[in-house]
Amino acid sequence: MVTFEDRVPTVDEQRTVAEAVGWLDHFDWETIGGSLERSLHGVVALQDGAVVGVGRLVGDGVRYCYVQDVMVDPAASEQGIATTIVERLLDWVRAAAPAEAVVGLFASPEAVSVYESIGFRAADGDPQGMTLTVRG
C-alpha cells in the first residue's frame, strides 16, 4: 500500500528516487539540501516504509508556483503515484494562494500525459516558456 506524506523530501530520499529513475545527473548534490529547504511544499510517497516517489513546489507561494522534481521509482509505477503527488501539491496551492495562482512546470516526455490528465496544457505562444542556465 502506498501512503503519502505532505513534506519536502530529504536529500537521501531525493537521491534514492533520482537514482531509481536514472536522474542522478539532473541534480547538483552539493547544493540540493539548500534547494529542498527553500521549497514551498513537498509530497513524499512511501510503499512499505520505503520512498518510491517525491515532488515539490517552488516559487513565491502567492501568485507563481512551479511543480518541481516529480519522480516515481519505475518499480512502483502505474499506481497513480505521480498523479497523486501533483494533485496534493495543487491542493496546497489552492489552500495557500490568496487569489488566482499560476502553476507551471517542465515535463519529461513520458510524463506529459500525467500532467495533461490533471489539466495542464502546453504553453504555446503567450506565455512562451524559456530557460537559461546561469553558472555562479
* pLDDT-based confidence at residue 99 (cuts at 50, 70, 90): confident
At 62-85, the pLDDT tens digits run 999 999 999 999 999 999 999 999
**pLDDT attached to residue 53:** 98
Domain contains 77: yes
**pLDDT attached to residue 98:** 85
For residue 32, how many C-alpha atoms fall within 13 Å in the half-sphere facing its CB?
19
Domain contains 47: yes
Domain contains 123: no
Q: Could you list the residue range(s) of the whole structural domain that residue 32 is in?
A: 2-118
Domain contains 132: no
* pLDDT-based confidence at residue 90 (cuts at 50, 70, 90): very high
Across the chain, which distance is largest between two alpha carbons, in Å? 44
In terms of residues, how long is the chain? 136
| Whole-number Å distance between alpha carbons of 116 and 60 | 24
Cell triple for residue 136?
Answer: 555562479
Structural domain tally of the chain? 1
Is there a contact between 62 and 53 (Cβ–Cβ < 8 Å)?
A: no
Long-range own/partner contacts, residues 89-94 (CB < 8 A, 24 or more apart)? 89/41, 89/42, 89/43, 89/55, 89/56, 89/57, 90/118, 92/6, 92/40, 92/41, 92/57, 93/57, 93/65
**pLDDT attached to residue 131:** 74
- For every residue of 77-123, DSSP letters joined together read -SSSHHHHHHHHHHHHHHHH-SS--EEEE---GGGHHHHHHHT----
Domain contains 52: yes
Q: What is the CATH number of the domain that holds 89?
A: 3.40.630.30
Determine the average pLDDT of the residues in 130-136. 77
**pLDDT attached to residue 132:** 75
Element (H, E) at 69: strand 64-72
Domain contains 28: yes
At 8-58, the pLDDT tens digits run 999 999 999 999 999 999 999 999 999 999 999 999 999 999 999 999 999
